Amino acid sequence: MAAKKGNADTITVTDNRTGQTYEFPISDGTIKATDLRTIKVSDDDFGLMTYDPAFMNTASCKSEITFIDGDVGILRYRGYPIEQLAEKSSFTEVCYLLIHGELPTKAQLAGWDEWIKAHVYVDESIRDVINGFRHDAHPMAVLQAAIGGLSTLYPESKEIGDKDQRMKDMVRLIAKTPTIGAWAFRRNLGRALLNPNPEQSYAENLLHMFFDESGMEYNFDPKIIRALDVLLILHADHEQNCSTSSVRAVGSSETDVFQSTSAGVAALYGPLHGGANEAVLKMLRRIGDKKNVPAFVKGVKNREELLMGFGHRVYKNYDPRAKIVHKIAHEVFEITGVNPLLEIAVELERIALEDEFFVARKLYPNVDFYSGLIYEALRLPAEMFTVLFAIGRMPGWLAQWNEMLDDKDQKIARPRQIYTGSGERNYVAMSKRK
Ligand code: CMC
C-alpha cells in the first residue's frame, strides 16, 4: 500500500482507548516525550509516558560534540574524523577541540598546553588520602575517590555559573587526572608517589610518573609515547555513553565538576563499560592457548559468558577505534616484542567474525578488545587499563558537562518510573508478623 503523503514534520497518533487523534511536531527525527503527556483518558490521568529502560531509544540532550554513525562505523569529534585526529593531532589539542569546539591556532595551543602544565601538581592532602588506602586497593576506586576529593581543595568550583571558573576547573582536571592515576598505580606497587614533570609532554610525563624510580629516569621510545597519546585521543569522547550520561546526570544537580566527573569514573569502572579492557585481558589469560578458542566461543554461544571486548550499543559495525588500536598494537609490539596473548585475540576475532551467532547480532571488536594488549606490553597491570581509559575520557566528560550547563533545555535529571509495588497497606506490629 502506498504511503499517504502528509505534513512531513508532524506525526498523527490515534489513541484507541478514546478514539482521539493528536498531532505532534517532529524535529531532528524525534518527538518530545513530554508532548505525549497530553494524551489522556481522563482529566485526572497523568498522561502517556514512554517506558525506555537503558535509554535504548531516548535522546537525553542535543549535543554538538561527538557524532557516531554506528551502522557504518563513523566517529567524529566536532566534525573531525577520528582517523585524522589519531594520525595528525595530539591529545591536548583534542582536549581543546572538544571543550572549545574548534581546533586551536598555534598560539592558542601553546597557551593551552602551558595552562595544563601549570596545573599538573596535586595537593599533598590527596597524596595522603591515596596513601591511606590499602596497598591493594583497585586504582579505579582510588581514582574515583581522589577526583571527588579535589572538591575539598577548590570550594570556588561550586560557582558553576561562572564560565571562567568552569574553564579553570576543566583545565585542572585534564592536568591532574594523570598525576592521580599514576599515584593510584604506584600505591599498588608500594612505591613513592612521584611528582609530575611539567617540562614533558602529556603522555611522556604519564609514562615517567608510572615507571621512574626515585633518582632514575627511564627513556621512552618516541613511538611508545606517541602510541599512548593516540590511545588517549581514541578514548576522548563517545557521546552519551554510560559514564558521560552519569556525569551529565550528576552535574544536572549543579554540583561541582569534580563530583560530577568522579561519577563518570565510577560508571566507567564497570566491566560492561571501561572495565571491559581489564576483563578482556583476564579472559585471554583464562583461554590460555589458541587451541582453546573454539571451546571458549562455544561457551559464549551457549550463553555461559560474554566475549569481552565485543559488541557495542551503538556500533553495529567494526568500531573505528578498534581498527586504529589494532594498528597501534603492531607498532608497539615491534618495540616491546609481541604479546603472546595477541595470537589468542586474533584467533578469537577470526572465529567470531565468521560465526553466525556474532554475524547475526552484528557483534564486532570494540575499542577495548586490543587496547589492553598494548597496555600490558607497556608493563601495566590489567587493573590500570581502565584508569588510562578514564584519563583519556576526561576531556569528553568535561566538554559534555560544560555543554549541559549552557543548554537551556536541561534541568535536573529525574526519570519517571512505573510503580509496580504493593497498594496502600497498614503497618503490621512486630508481634503480629508471621
Ligand atoms: N558476547 C556475546 N554475546 C553478546 C555480546 C558479547 N560481548 N554482546 C552482546 N551480545 C549478544 C547479547 O546476548 C544479545 O543476544 P540476544 O539478542 O540473542 O539476546 C545481543 O548480542 C545484543 O546484545 P545486548 O546486550 O542487547 O546489547 P547492548 O547494547 O545492551 O550491550 C554491550 C552492549 C557493550 C554492553 C555488550 O555488547 C557487552 O556486554 N559487551 C561486552 C563488554 C564490552 O566489551 N564492553 C565494552 C564496550 S566498548 C567501550 C565502552 O564504550 O565502554
Condensed to tens digits (0 to 9), the pLDDT of residues 118-129 reads: 999 999 999 999
Is residue 312 annotated as part of the catalytic site, yes or no? yes
**Per-residue model confidence as pLDDT tens digits over 277-288:** 989 999 999 999
**Per-residue model confidence as pLDDT tens digits over 290-302:** 999 999 999 999 9
User: Is residue 2 very low, low, confident or very high in pLDDT (cuts 50, 70, 90)?
Assistant: very low
Question: What pLDDT does 340 receive?
Answer: 87
How far does residue 312's CA lie from ligand 1's centre (Å)?
6
- Share the mean pLDDT of the chain: 95
Instruction: Please state the length of the chain.
Output: 434
Question: What pLDDT does 25 receive?
Answer: 97
Question: What pLDDT does 402 receive?
Answer: 98
For residue 275, count other CB atoms closer than 10 A to its CB. 22
Average pLDDT over residues 382-398: 96
Average pLDDT over residues 336-349: 92
Give the DSSP letter string of 315-348.
Answer: -SS--HHHHHHHHHHHHHHHHH---THHHHHHHH
Mutate to test the pocket of ligand 1, among 56, 71, 313 (most ligand atoms within 8 A of CB): 313
Mutate to test the pocket of ligand 1, among 68, 265, 363 (most ligand atoms within 8 A of CB): 363
**Per-residue model confidence as pLDDT tens digits over 96-117:** 999 999 999 999 999 999 999 9
Question: What pLDDT does 397 receive?
Answer: 98
The alpha carbon of residue 379 and the mean position of all alpha carbons in its chain are separated, in whole angstroms, by 23
CA angle, residues 305, 308, 314, in degrees to nearest 5: 115
CA gyration radius, the chain: 24
Question: What pLDDT does 8 receive?
Answer: 75
Pocket (CB within 6 angstroms of ligand 1): 238, 241, 272-274, 276, 300, 306-313, 361, 363, 366-368
Average pLDDT over residues 310-335: 92
Question: What pLDDT does 214 receive?
Answer: 75
How far does residue 6's CA lie from ligand 1's centre (Å)?
39
Catalytic residue among 208, 312, 319, 326: 312
Catalytic residue among 123, 273, 355, 407: 273
Question: Three-state SS for 13?
Answer: strand
Closest Cα to atom 37 of ligand 1: 311
Closest Cα to atom 39 of ligand 1: 272
Q: b vs e for 334-359, b when ≥16 Cβ sit within 10 Å of the residue's Cβ?
A: eeeeebebbebbebbbeebeebeebe
How far does residue 313's CA lie from ligand 1's centre (Å)?
7
Closest Cα to atom 51 of ligand 1: 273
Contact between 173 and 115 under an 8 Å Cβ cutoff? The reply is no
Classify residue 198 by burial, with Cβ atoms within 10 Å: 0-12, 13-18, 19+: middle
Q: Which three cell numbers stand for residue 206?
A: 604519564
**Per-residue model confidence as pLDDT tens digits over 227-278:** 999 999 999 999 999 999 999 999 999 999 999 999 999 999 999 999 999 8
Closest Cα to atom 36 of ligand 1: 311
Is residue 208 annotated as part of the catalytic site, yes or no? no
Contact between 126 and 152 under an 8 Å Cβ cutoff? The reply is no
| Beta partners for residue 38, in sequence order | none
Q: What residues have CB less than 8 Å from 283, skipping those under 6 apart?
A: 307, 308, 309
Q: Ligand 1, closest atom to CA 309?
A: 44
Residue in the block written with cell 582517523: 83
How far does residue 307's CA lie from ligand 1's centre (Å)?
8
Closest Cα to atom 24 of ligand 1: 313
Question: What pLDDT does 1 receive?
Answer: 41
Over 80: is that where the pLDDT of 5 sits? no
Is residue 409 annotated as part of the catalytic site, yes or no? no
Average pLDDT over residues 38-47: 96
User: Is residue 4 very low, low, confident or very high in pLDDT (cuts 50, 70, 90)?
Assistant: low
How far does residue 420's CA lie from ligand 1's centre (Å)?
28
N- to C-terminal Cα distance for the chain?
Answer: 62
How far does residue 311's CA lie from ligand 1's centre (Å)?
5
